[in-house]
Amino acid sequence: MDKIKVAVNGYGTIGKRIADAVSLQKDMEIVGVSKTKPNFEAFMALEKGYSVYSPSEKIKKMKEAGIEVSGSIEDMTGKADIIVDCTPGGVGEKNKPMYEDANVKVIWQGGEDHELAGFSFNAIANYEEAIGKDLARVVSCNTTGLCRVLYPLDKEFGVKKARVSLLRRAADPGDIKTGPINAIVPNPVKLPSHHGPDVKSVMPHIDITTTAVKLPTTLMHVHIVNAELDKECNEDDIKSLLGGQSRIKFVGQGVSSTAEVMEMSRDMLRPRSDMWENCLWEDSVSIYNNELYFFQAIHQESIVVPDNIDAIRAMMEIEGDGTQSIEKTNRSMGIV
């Protein structure tokens, strides 16, 4: 069978990781990535062997800077079976007419509204619903992390209600423009935050409310999860359920902070020190007054990458079983 031709529009934090993950799959290949600026990422994309495309008005400037440009973003779109749009939130929406003209399938990221695709995806929660779809949106890093824990909890014990506080990193490590650098910022001040409704875009029946603050850190987000469950269970039941999920990693053994999670990912020789799994502190799993509590850390730069790979497989109908796709993706990326 021919490999699925994937193009990545927007080769930044998320896009470059998705391009590398696609390249690891036996059933798909990268036919192009797009860059708007002739920076180190553009040169490194060429070094990796990716064909680089640019907006037509920028091709001249890119070529003058020494980037070998293969054509316009429209040219790239025309070569692909499916586009993974990883442009900044809000920009992806503007690309929709171009994708419609090319009659190509599209995956957007969590910075776009649910309504743009009309379908929001998380591999463990709704893989089967994505099969054959033309448009999808892989939910944001925080929503992906929440779906990965709430879906199995709901399936096994029933989630009566979930209340989550999100401690959000202020910026990604490579971002020199965003703050705060010395403050804790309620964000948004008006409660609740958008993250609860975003979880409901995947699992509409879940009663979830979220609040969020931004912190002066770049490494990871941390979630303080509190849930009431329908069925009675104990801490061991929760640990055995969540510990059995392939994209949830229990941490302990002296890992007491996001800094140590990142050190661990470096020790694991993960590319770019990525941590594709939710990192859940096993010792934090507690049942108190019949309510469940735990902490988990979310690596915002990489957690959505395996879910994008599964979304491609579902939409292109090359794997009808979500468990099989998750296993293929995990094996190729080294998620064990």
Task: Pick one of 4, 5, 6, 11: the residue that binds ligand NAD (CB under 6 A).
Answer: 11
Contact status: 27 vs ligand NAD (CB under 6 A)? no
Residues 172 to 201 in contact with ligand NAD, rule: CB under 6 A? 172
Residues 79 to 108 in contact with ligand NAD, rule: CB under 6 A? 86-89, 91
233 as an active site residue: the answer is no
Of all residues in the shown chain, the one whose CB is closest to ligand NAD is 12
Contact status: 143 vs ligand NAD (CB under 6 A)? no
In three-state form (DSSP H/G/I as H, E/B as E, the rest C), the secondary structure along the chain is CCCEEEEEECCCHHHHHHHHHHHCCCCEEEEEEECCCCCHHHHHHHHCCCCEEECHHHHHHHHHCCCCEEEEHHHHHHHCCEEEECCCCCHHHHCHHHHHHHCCEEEECCCCCHHHHCCEECHHHHCHHHCCCCEEEECCHHHHHHHHHHHHHHHHHCEEEEEEEEEEECCCCCCCCCCCCCCCEECCCCCCCCHHHHHHCCCCCCCEEEEEEEECCCCCEEEEEEEEECCCCCHHHHHHHHHCCCCEEEECCCCCCHHHHHHHHHHCCCHHHCCCCEEEEHHHCEEECCEEEEEEEECCCCCCHHHHHHHHHHHCCCCCCHHHHHHHHHHHHCCC
Residues 51 to 70 in contact with ligand NAD, rule: CB under 6 A? 55
Contact status: 71 vs ligand NAD (CB under 6 A)? no
- By C-beta, is 94 or 205 nearer to ligand NAD? 94
Q: Indicate which residue of 86, 141, 147, 279 is catalytic.
A: 141
Task: Pick one of 72, 77, 109, 278: the residue that binds ligand NAD (CB under 6 A).
Answer: 109
Contact status: 217 vs ligand NAD (CB under 6 A)? no
- By C-beta, is 126 or 142 nearer to ligand NAD? 142
Contact status: 307 vs ligand NAD (CB under 6 A)? no
Residue numbers of the site for ligand NAD (CB under 6 A)? 9-15, 34, 36-37, 55, 86-89, 91, 109-112, 140-141, 172, 300-301, 304
Catalytic residues: 141
